[in-house]
Structure 1
Amino acid sequence: MAQGVRGAPLRALADEEMAKVAGQDGVSFAAHIVINDPTLVGAVSDSRLSLGFAGADGHSRYLVLRNVRGTIDMSTVAIDVHTRADGGDYLALTLPNTVKFERFGFESMSVQNDPLAPVTASMGSLDITGTVNMTGQLHLWAH
């Protein structure tokens, strides 16, 4: 704050008061996500992402993705609150115009009883390099 400028002290707002508050743009962000970059010093060469599922027989099975890696670039994603026609509020998530993938994927996918056991049977791999263009909004609200 500028020197000599004072604002009103903070206080809690009732729901009715909060509903009358108007904002400007919401929140916007862009992201550059790098997962398991093999060019870094000390990079891990055998990483796993495991999802466990309890079977009807009481034993767990695991979906194991080995060496998940790659880069994801997302242009602007916006989050804003809007009012529905019935007076309720909803959260609007604006999809990014462009999402770029660079060598994004995993080396193998397997289903195993032990997530740490060696991968013996791969169900395939995934390697995505390209651009996805998306437009629109995802609306979320409570019941």
Structure 2
Amino acid sequence: MLNPWTLLLSNLKNTNVFNQIRCASQVLPQLSSEKYKVIRKQFGNIQPSDVDYFKTILSEDRVLTDENDVLPFNIDWIKNCRGQSKLVLKPKSTEEVSRILRYCNEKRLAVCPQGGNTGLVGGSVPVFDEIVLSFMLMNKIISLDELSGKL
């Protein structure tokens, strides 16, 4: 008979299993939509064809749909707010952002822009199933006004 600890340790090598254990062991904050009694507006619902379109703009590794990959983008830094997004897009250029937003506007898909997700008021966290548009890969500063500090 296998020792349960040996089985557990061998499965921890699998990153997906490790993420599931990590997430299951943490208490998730209440959904923001329930906590603040917010009603979803008349936006479209994300379809598999939408995800396929985004994969034509971004490489597949920059279109996140796995629940474990999306979870950190759904929770704010102080673990007070939690959204229900099922899709995170990680553009690298303003051209990619423009194409994504044009498509979302045409399809009436809600978008939640997110910088580093380090805010303290939950403003960068989706409430419902908005598409998280993460700017974490847009880290090249083209110019900086040293007087005002404006990028």
TM-score for the superposition, normalised by structure 1: 0.22
Return the structure number with greater helix share: 2
Return the structure number with greater strand share: 1
